[in-house]
Structure 1
């Protein structure tokens, strides 16, 4: 049996269990199990089937026996903001309602009746998005108060899955910051803010830093699996894990997937009025820093176009079709209308009609409009980052699955006149594994990890044709 470390990385459309091995100074990955994830429509809301996700995690662990792998530890990362509540018996009493559900409509305005926008940003450093946890909880306060009053424990999605593995309740730091309820300067829950919103501060657990062992498997799981292992908190926010794997020390990064998370790493939060104006966020990072970034809609739009088309075009084929299209139209990818439309194609077409632009009709035209619009948003964000940081950056590093989009990569290099580096593709799983290796002492520092990543994975380079 070969010893390994398991990273569980779950996104909005799929999850994977990946085994990691350190060998001769390199990190080797092997996919053990892949499974689907999707929002489901319940009677009154969209939700994630977290119990099914846990079953898939266990299935992935069991597959290690077939592969003759012996896991020594496991850590889980997922998307941010969504959560479940447990009662006094530690039983789940809510669905994991999905952030795209409309229950947060109007909730930002309700919260800002109790606290000024500038003060909330100064306290938390977190950008305003209608689906943030703070607005989800406030919706429950107004419409599901009985359930909220019954709740004794607040767990974000990876916290809950770690609880199912270990029986230990924790709130991990990187994901907790996405709630807009953590004090940026103290890295702990803002109890005064929580109380002012008439929420129960006691249901929030003391915040646990990443790279920390939570516990070991429950007795029932040990018996079911036939072995034991550590449960370790990585950066449970998937972007926090992904950013760990950015090879360059001093580069603008884009973690590209369903969302595009674009920013830089800072030692201090930038929560100025100008940062608020540009709607930047200061989310917790692995290693005590802040991920100063902006959420951009990302490849969600092209994923939805593919779904509506219901055809066999691969992402790679759409990239090639975009290269051959000539349509000049641009949409605002961060417009809320694209967050969860019934038909993404129609929404894009209506936007172009309303703004007196050429209406895209073919798959290639739709793809070009989306990709060009993303590049425009990226370029605007670069300018804002450099202005707010008072610093010029020479390069951009795109990580994650979206780093394989050669059209966007080259166009961004041309527009920004910066070097664009792409990879690693499995950035989130790599960062998850690195955090576990750091917790166990196999890797000493993030700098050591970045050097190892550069040696272990292919990094592509796109030079600006304008230079």
Structure 2
């Protein structure tokens, strides 16, 4: 690689998105945010939707901002959260806004789905996590409602595929996010037709699958003329944001066993494997498989994550009429009684956007004979300690599945800036924690663009580049016995 080259990264999470320009010189890279925006779902006529047209508008704003400052952008790539999708009609028109994974109707038909297709059989066919946020549950809900989306649908596109389509006019499915719909056979890397036939999902909706590093096309002439930008290739990255995060981990040449936890609205813990692991132990422990870049697999567990404290913080801000920073939340947590109260963060009530989350925490603890004050510190301490204990449980399950001690834990995502969570995770597991970079997902997105452009030859080479370019912080384990005692109480 000669000189510095620029690449445009779009990373959309469930609560916000960003456009970043990366400058690479062959041995390191730097990244600059050129546009940030919120991602707010919309309730309309009893359904919770994603506002896809607003998100596409924000992508276009990001494109303009990037080309205003950088004139020679080599390519762009888009990653988003997993699970959700849109459907096009035969004329290529979007039939409706994508339904949000927290919409209650997605979950209402789950018992009926499992009478048609037993839960374990779904795992055996898809290899994925049996979590009701996955796309197959919304597809089945559409079949039961005889929804116009299925009646008139011609193409199924996951969220990053949909944004790529709106940019390029090319409708394709990128594989890592396709596995998040639970309609792929992860051994053959193709659509699983038995799932379609048994659940009544039209097979014709599902066509071309492409893989990270493939070129989708170019920003369309219409979009280029609207924004007054030059032609730019659009690359298929590992478009499921967690897959991009795993791709971008800052890992050098090491023989130490490692795991990762992506700390965001969802917390996702897992390990990378050569191929999907499909057996009774994985199923019984609540794990599943999803694709990552380079033909690899991640064995993962989805945990209701920082969503819980995000919901509580919104309540505190509303009640006090002032902004309450995350630093203040952590400070209040530190001053509260340790080890007093725990919740199971995966209880469905804590993922319900309609409830008063703080009130539900107090109620949950009260039913178990523990009184907890309705204060910022007491609630935050309960949530943070409960998350760390859930992380420990999840990682111990991974050790049981693999038979290997996890020596290093990579913490990535926005939550990796919370040093208390990082240190407590190291203490709880007795393992070294490496925190950062915060934007690991964006790094993984960049690396697949570099791969597509021939600037790197492998994921391993890209991870060394990530390590050379990233600021990370190491946390050594210190107080494992304290967390051993808490874990015994938690169980």
TM-score, length of structure 2 as denominator length: 0.93
Classify the secondary structure of the residue corresponding to 1:75: strand
Question: Which residue pairs with 2:202 in the alignment?
Answer: 200
Aligned to 1:324: 335
| Cα deviation digits, residues 146-175 of structure 1 (max 9, x gap) | 431110011111101000111100011001
SS in structure 2 of the partner of residue 331 of structure 1: coil
Q: 1:38-57 maps to which residues of 2 (within 5 A)?
A: 38-57=40-59
Contact 1:45 1:101 in 2 (8 A): yes
Of the three residues 257, 274, 281, the one matched with 1:274 is: 281
Aligned partner of 2:239 among 236, 241, 254: 236
Contact 1:400 1:426 in 2 (8 A): yes
Segments ≥4 residues shifted beyond 6 Å: none
Residue 358 of structure 1: how far off its partner (Å): 2.6
Q: Does 1:80 align with 2:82?
A: yes
CA contact (8 A) 1:2 1:69 kept: no
Aligned 8 A contact 1:188 1:206 in 2:
no
* Offset, 1:67: 1.7
Instruction: Please show how residues 452-467 of structure 1 align to structure 2 within 5 Å.
Output: 452-466=465-479
Verify the 8 A CA contact 1:5 1:71 in the aligned structure 2: yes
Kindly report which structure 2 residues correspond to 1:318-467, keeping only aligned pairs within 5 A, or say none.
318-327=329-338, 328-340=340-352, 341-466=354-479
Mind listing any 5+ residue stretches in structure 2 that lack a counterpart? 481-491
The one-character-per-residue Cα deviations of 1:33-62 (angstroms, maximum 9, x if unpaired) are: 001111111112011111111111111111
* CA distance in 1: counterparts of 2:103 and 2:461, whole angstroms: 41
| Length-normalised TM-score, structure 1 | 0.97
Equivalent residue, structure 1, for 2:262? 255
RMSD across aligned positions (CA) = 1.5
Alignment of 1:60-75 (within 5 A): 60-75=62-77
Given that 1:245 and 1:424 are in contact with CA atoms closer than 8 Å, whether structure 2 keeps it comes out as no
Residue 310 (structure 2) aligned to one of 303, 318, 342 = 303
Alignment of structure 1 residues 13-162 onto 2, 5 Å: 13-23=15-25, 25-162=27-164
- d(CA) in 2 for partners of 1:22, 1:306: 38
**How far is 1:130 from its partner?**
1.8
Paired residue secondary structure (1:113): helix
Q: CA deviation at 1:3?
A: 4.7
Tell me if structure 2 keeps the 8 A contact 1:86–1:153: yes
- Hey, what's the Cα distance between the residues in 2 that align with 1:177 and 1:21? 31
Report if aligned partners of 1:2, 1:68 keep a CA contact under 8 Å in 2: no
Q: Deviations over 1:2-42 (max 9, x none)?
A: 85111100111111000011125101101110011111111
3-state SS of 1:97 partner: coil
Q: For residue 226 of structure 1, report the CA deviation from its aligned partner.
A: 3.0
> 2:300 corresponds to which residue?
293
Cα shift at 1:449: 1.1
| Contact preservation (8 Å) 2:4, 2:24 | no
Q: Distance in 1 between matches of 2:250 and 2:67?
A: 33
Deviations 1:256-295 (A, max 9, x none): 1111110000012122111111111100111111110101
Asked whether the 8 Å contact 2:308–2:350 carries over to 1, the reply is yes
The alignment partner of 1:8 has SS state of: strand
Secondary structure, counterpart of 2:74 in structure 1: strand
Spell out, residue by residue over 1:363-416, the C-alpha distance to the aligned partner (whole angstroms, 9 max, x if none): 111111110000000000111001011211211110111101111111111111
1:312 maps to: 323
Shift of 1:69: 3.8
Task: Kindly provide the CA deviation profile for residues 206-265 of structure 1, in whole angstroms up to 9, marking residues without a partner as x.
Answer: 211111100011111222223010000111100000111212364110111111110000
